[in-house]
Structure 1
Amino acid sequence: MRLDRGATGFCGPGDNLANETGLTLFRSACWEAARRIGGRVGESPAARGSSFHSVTITSQAEEHFVLCHAHSPVVAFTELPPVPGQPLSRFVDPPPWADAFEAAVFRCLQVEDLSLPMSKVDVAELAEAELAQIRYWRPQGLSDLLFNWWD
Structure 2
Amino acid sequence: MAATTGEDPLHTTRFRAACHEAARRTPGVTFYELTEAAVTPAFHSAAMSDRVRRHRILCHPHTGFVAFASPPPFPGSGELRFHEPPRWAEVFDLHGLRVLRPEVLATPLTRVRPRELDDDARARLRRDRARTLGEWLFG
Q: TM-score, normalised by structure 1?
A: 0.77
Tell me what 2:4 maps to. Answer: 5
Q: What amino acid does structure 2 have at the position aligned with 1:29?
A: A
Structure 1 outlier segments of 4+, above 4 Å: 82-85
Are positions 1:19 and 2:2 aligned together?
Answer: no
Q: What amino acid does structure 2 have at the position aligned with 1:30?
A: C
Tell me what 1:118 maps to. Answer: 109
Q: Which segment drifts farther, 128-137 or 24-33?
A: 128-137
Q: Indicate the RMSD between aligned Cα atoms, in angstroms.
A: 2.3
1:18 offset after TM fit, Å?
A: 5.4
3-state SS of 2:114 partner: coil
Pair 29,45 (structure 1): closer, same or farther in 2 beyond 3 Å: closer
Pair 56,125 (structure 1): closer, same or farther in 2 beyond 3 Å: same
Q: TM-score, normalised by structure 2?
A: 0.83
CA contact (8 A) 1:3 1:122 kept: no
More helix by share: 2
How many angstroms apart in 2 are the aligned matches of 1:71 and 1:120? Answer: 20
How many angstroms apart in 2 are the aligned matches of 1:75 and 1:21? Answer: 14
Q: Which has the higher contact order (CA 8 A, sep 6+)?
A: 1
Tell me what 2:28 maps to. Answer: 38
Structure 1 gap segments, 5+ residues each: 7-16
Structure 2 gap segments, 5+ residues each: none
2:131 corresponds, among 120, 135, 140, to 140
3-state SS of 1:135 partner: helix
Q: What amino acid does structure 1 have at the position aligned with 2:112?
A: V
1:91 offset after TM fit, Å?
A: 0.2
